[in-house]
Structure 1
Amino acid sequence: MFSELVKEFHKKGIPTDKPDFYDHPNFIKEEQRDPSYLIKFAKFVAEKPYSNDYIEKAESIIFDVAKILSKQLLDNGCQGACVDISGILARILELKGIWCACIKGSCTIDFPQKSNEKTTYFWSSDHGEFTAGHAWVFAPPFSIVDISLKQQLYTGTKKIISLKLSW
């Protein structure tokens, strides 16, 4: 799959040597023709082979950046900012040479049974002017880097439990 994606991108004049190659004019042109083309970028990131040295470096950088941004998000009291902060996190990681993709989708949160809290859902919708139900970053070696989950619009016990989540 990875080699097929590399061939396709190169055939269309899209260099694949930088983590933000989806900003290349030829990639943008393809994405304008096919709005789902960005999914191929995410597949590229997921299928790309990474060295052990890269994985160690990436893990350290991701932890450091996520910790700083998470603190900023909490200090500023931003709630429901998952799309914005995930985009910022992805851009910072790319600038630091980390391969990642911002993922927009839905999220279901089951709270501990003893909390007596009902499941919380952040749905994506196929109709209307919605950006996403939720957003996070995929950045190998992590499948999910989500620094905004504890900053959603929770109340009561849900808020107390969510604040125990950490980066």
Structure 2
Amino acid sequence: MTTNNRSYKKLKTLFSSEGIDTDKIGFHLSKEFLKSEQSKKISIDDYAQFVVKKKLTAEYIEYSRTRILEIVETLSNHINQDSKLGRCIDSSITLSQMLDLRGIWNFIIKGCLTITAKDNSFETQHFYDLTEPNNVAAPHAWVYAPPFGIIDITIKKQKYPLGIANILPEHIAAEIDKLKVINPTVDELVDPVLKRKPYYNQIVKNEVNKVNSVNAVFKPFEFKIDEIVFRYIPVGIGLPETSLKGNQNKFNYKTVNEIWAELN
């Protein structure tokens, strides 16, 4: 997959030529966008680029910051009380749908994550894009919603060795200006187990090319909390396929629409 790096002006022109109203937050669910996506004239990457490159007012940023933190606090509380692990895709989709309803520009990022303890209190944890068997939709998923470059509401709910989850934050909501752009290493993208495979060199080359293409637009970031370093590396983009009304997920025995009602 190659990400076409387009300017904001070109994106506006592209959407306009397809009859898409770009003033409406969540226009990726409009019939015009979906029709153009199906005909491969545009892609969800184009929507995500539009969000990254859009100039936002100070008033919008203030509104967005407040509303995002309200939603994240409530939703992550339910997720962390749920007994199920993983579910980063379901959770990120739910958050994205809620942000759309609040009038907040956002999209989902699928990618690799490396978690390192600077004090060596636990072994480095890797969420590889390429591993074997590779039967998951994404190694990890989080949400980009300015002013936040990383919103990870399932950081505590992944499958870690005993004890690690207890020292991780309830969630991560890191603002873009507090993030450090990084250069990912092959060891963060590809499971070392694959080094023994005869096709290793070729899959590494393909993986690096793919990630470089994505990262030219959607930057890989590092974020530190005390002695823990989190490295988030985008490898793909995601968007909800329905509005929140069509979301059938439950967290902590509550439907997402019941959780949404708590916020209103």
TM-score by length of 2: 0.58
Residue of structure 2 equivalent to 1:120: 125
**Unaligned residue ranges in structure 2 (runs of 5+):** 1-6, 174-264
Higher helix share: 1
Residue of structure 1 equivalent to 2:154: 148
Report the residue type matching 2:44 in the other structure.
Answer: L
Residues 92 and 166 (structure 1 numbering): CA distance in 2 closer, same or farther, change over 3 Å?
Answer: same
Match of 1:92 among 58, 74, 98: 98
Superposed, 1:15-164 pairs within 5 Å as 15-34=21-40, 37-115=43-121, 117-125=122-130, 130-163=136-169
Higher strand share: 2
Residues 164 and 21 (structure 1 numbering): CA distance in 2 closer, same or farther, change over 3 Å?
Answer: closer
**Distance in 2 of aligned mates of 1:128 and 1:121:** 14
**Unaligned residue ranges in structure 1 (runs of 5+):** none
Q: How many residues align?
A: 166
Report the residue type matching 1:134 in the other structure.
Answer: H
If you compute each CA radius of gyration, which structure gives the higher value, 1 or 2?
A: 2
TM-score by length of 1: 0.89
**Distance in 2 of aligned mates of 1:132 and 1:37:** 19
Q: Does the 8 Å contact 1:106/1:122 carry over to 2?
A: yes
Indicate the SS of the match to 2:108. strand
Indicate the SS of the match to 1:113. coil
Q: Does the 8 Å contact 1:2/1:48 carry over to 2?
A: yes
Report the CA distance between 1:31 and its aligned residue.
2.2
**Distance in 1 of aligned mates of 2:67 and 2:33:** 27
Identity of aligned residues (%): 34
Q: Does the 8 Å contact 2:112/2:129 carry over to 1?
A: yes
Question: Bigger CA drift: 22-31 or 54-63?
Answer: 22-31
Report the CA distance between 1:36 and its aligned residue.
7.5
1:4 aligns with 2:13: no
Calculate the aligned-residue CA RMSD, in Å: 2.2
Indicate the SS of the match to 2:137. coil
Report the residue type matching 1:95 in the other structure.
Answer: L
Residues 64 and 114 (structure 1 numbering): CA distance in 2 closer, same or farther, change over 3 Å?
Answer: same
The runs of at least 4 consecutive aligned structure 1 residues that moved more than 4 Å come to 125-129, 163-167
Residues 14 and 103 (structure 1 numbering): CA distance in 2 closer, same or farther, change over 3 Å?
Answer: same
The superposition leaves residues 58-113 of structure 1 with CA deviations (integer Å, 9 ceiling, x where unpaired) of 00000000000000001122310110000000000100100001111111111233
The superposition leaves residues 15-52 of structure 1 with CA deviations (integer Å, 9 ceiling, x where unpaired) of 11122111112222232233981111110001111110
Q: Does the 8 Å contact 2:144/2:151 carry over to 1?
A: yes
Q: Does the 8 Å contact 1:104/1:136 carry over to 2?
A: yes
The superposition leaves residues 127-154 of structure 1 with CA deviations (integer Å, 9 ceiling, x where unpaired) of 9653111110000000011111111112
